[in-house]
Chain A
Amino acid sequence: MNDSAAAGGGATLSPPPASAPSISVRGLSKNYGDIEAVRGIDFEVSPGEIFGFLGPNGAGKSTTISMLCTLVKPTAGTATVAGFDVDSERDTVRRNIGLVFQDTTLDTYLTAEQNMRLHAELYGVPRELIAPRMRQVLEMVGLWERRASAVATYSGGMKRRLEIARGLMHSPRVLFLDEPTVGLDPQTRSSIWTYIRELKGSEDITIFLTTHYMDEAEYCDRIAIMDKGVIVVLDTPSALKASVGRDRVMLQTDDDAAAIAEIEARFGLTATVSEGSVTLGVSEGELFVPRLFAELTVPIRSVSVSRPSLDDVFMSYTGTTIRDAEATSLDRNRATVNAFRRRS
């Protein structure tokens, strides 16, 4: 009836100042009966960030994202998304967020275009903007040409891209992606990430995602590692890796024994032979290599520097590998999932 006037909105609906966090979480907890799925977490996400929630299955990632998306009521604590409280301003939060769930929520009998239009109507996108916006987001994910095909004919990767496009249809302030690449082959996973990274340039949007793939966390601006319902650490991927400490320098030399002795004498560092290479740990690998060349008399044939991986980070903060953590949390996870299913 009166879209333009309504879009002006009341005072409570104007977007928060740009400096305000996109997501702000204080003491957020969720219990399912005796199970403490999330145990009082705090964090903030800045506008424009790609923020990753990393952890094994059952760590509480999905419960957290569900609370932020207003799908699950917190047991305790508060959270605001795009400046609105997830509990008391539920519908306003929903209008300002895009959601892509782990499991598909497309109507596969309909075409991509029909799914998009259905979403636009449900979210009240002004009529005159539906067609241009649909084209914009479908082109962004490379599905414009296939818009008239039934979704049932789409591959897994195409469905996921369509869901991302649909989540963007109403220009949300924050896009939530719950395990956006789970169940996809590696090539498709990397193409999904290309689209997610491109979003940062084309949309004024904050992206909050969960993943249990360590390698994907590298794409995020900041990462929170979650385990057993708490955030164990939160930082940029490089800072996290730096905090684990040392880069690994591996050398091929003409005389390994002499090289080890010389490294010990000149730098006071202990090197060992590992996998056929002289291996040592240093805090900043790139800075160490020039000194190595300048001071070592033994001829060096090759050198490589590797940074600690996020697997190492997870290991160092939780004392277990992500696979082991998943194995032990399986039962707890099942209980959480069942508790969640009963509610949704």
Chain B
Amino acid sequence: MAATTTDPAAAPVHLPPAAVHVPPGSIHGDLRAVKIVWEREMIRFTKDRLRIVTALVQPILFLFVLGSGLSHLASHGTHGVDLRTFVYPGVLCMAVLFTAMFSAASIVWDREFGFLREMMVAPVRRSSLVLGKCLGGATVASVQGVIVIALAGLVGVPYAPVLLIEVFALQLTLAFAITAFGVMVAARINQIQSFMAITQMVMMPMYFLSGAIFPVSGLPAWLTVLNRLDPMTYAVDPMRRVVFDHLHISAAARRALDPGLTWWGWRVPSLVEVAVVAAIGLVCLAIGVVEFNGRE
């Protein structure tokens, strides 16, 4: 971890007492804090191989078990498109969802095990700690997302460079927003069990309502309303658009499976959708910072 040019083991050190003068607070100091908190997330992620595997279980279940199992029932409605291909964009989002939430959960974990205190008493802005945490969670989740991106070939999605970059960018944005949401919730919660219960209660409806497993047009009115209110919707829709742009399927199939999200009949552009996700993330981040600032 120590990336210093001088080898610390080379010679015994005799610094005079109080040789270290800590500079006063500065932007530079806060940036160092963001970086080290981010780095800690990376270290912990790479050490936790089990977590990498377990976080993949759910997306793979959805992709291969649900996708394969229901493909017969759905074959009429999909215009010949493999159901797995249809659910793949949703699974790309799901991979990020659980990992990002898990990253945020570690704040509650850190509080229970005391380490959060070490960070909270540090002479840096709380916002830099929260930002480092969110960026760390976003990075970890995106790495996890890359593994699911790698599965594209198995469900008939081409490995086009533009597609991969767009998918990754979407995952990064979603992961940031989800981590920020999780951090905002974690700020108020002291026990990991409570956090898990709350996130389960929030995440599963968010996933099911998002259109990850059904097209978002022609829904009953109540479901349409819930779908449009679900923040996940604004990540799943552009994800599907990006993936379907690279598929060679009939126009009818495209219309049926990727109808696109509308607000009162207006087709919402992808950039607006991404902006919605990013804005929700930033709002959660801001609330999280305020929450953490309020704690002594």
Shortest Cβ distance from B167 into chain A, in angstroms?
31
Cα–Cα distance between A72 and B296 once the two chains are bound (Å): 6
Chain A residue with minimal CB distance to B47? A109
The count of chain B contact residues (Cβ–Cβ below 8 Å) is 46
A2-B28 in contact (CB<8A): yes
A129-B19 in contact (CB<8A): yes
Given contacts A121-B35, A129-B19, contact A111 B1 (CB under 8 A): yes
Interface membership of chain B positions 47-90, coded 1 if the CB is closer than 8 angstroms to chain A and 0 otherwise: 11000000000000000000000000000000000000000000
Given contacts A104-B114, A110-B43, A344-B117, contact A125 B20 (CB under 8 A): yes
Which of B119-127, B193-201, B215-223, B252-260 has 4 or more CB atoms under 8 Å from chain A?
B119-127
Cα–Cα distance between A296 and B263 once the two chains are bound (Å): 108
The secondary structure that dominates the B interface is loop
Chain B residue with minimal CB distance to A342? B190
Given contacts A121-B35, A130-B2, contact A94 B123 (CB under 8 A): yes
Cα–Cα distance between A10 and B20 once the two chains are bound (Å): 17
Indicate whether A71 reaches chain B with its CB closer than 8 angstroms.
yes
Q: How many A-B residue pairs have CB under 8 A?
A: 157
Q: Which residues of A contact B20 (CB under 8 A)?
A: 125-126, 129, 133, 169-171
Partner of A133, one of B15, B25, B122: B15
Given contacts A94-B121, A95-B24, contact A105 B114 (CB under 8 A): yes
Indicate whether A265 reaches chain B with its CB closer than 8 angstroms.
no
Cα–Cα distance between A113 and B8 once the two chains are bound (Å): 11
B4-A136 in contact (CB<8A): no
Cα–Cα distance between A125 and B48 once the two chains are bound (Å): 29
Cα–Cα distance between A126 and B29 once the two chains are bound (Å): 10
Cα–Cα distance between A104 and B112 once the two chains are bound (Å): 11
Q: Which residues of B contact A135 (CB under 8 A)?
A: 8-9, 12-13
Provide 24 A-B residue pairs closer than 8 Å at the C-beta atoms, listed in order of the A residue: A1-B26, A7-B21, A7-B23, A95-B22, A95-B24, A105-B117, A106-B115, A107-B110, A107-B118, A109-B47, A117-B1, A119-B118, A122-B33, A122-B36, A124-B123, A124-B124, A128-B6, A129-B15, A130-B4, A131-B4, A133-B13, A170-B20, A202-B17, A203-B17
B interface residues, Cβ below 8 angstroms from A: 1-2, 4, 6, 8-9, 12-15, 17-26, 28-29, 32-33, 35-36, 40, 43-44, 47-48, 110, 113-115, 117-124, 190, 295-296
A interface residues, Cβ below 8 angstroms from B: 1-3, 6-7, 9-10, 13, 69-73, 91-92, 94-96, 99, 101, 103-111, 113-114, 117-119, 121-136, 139, 169-171, 173, 202-205, 341, 343-344
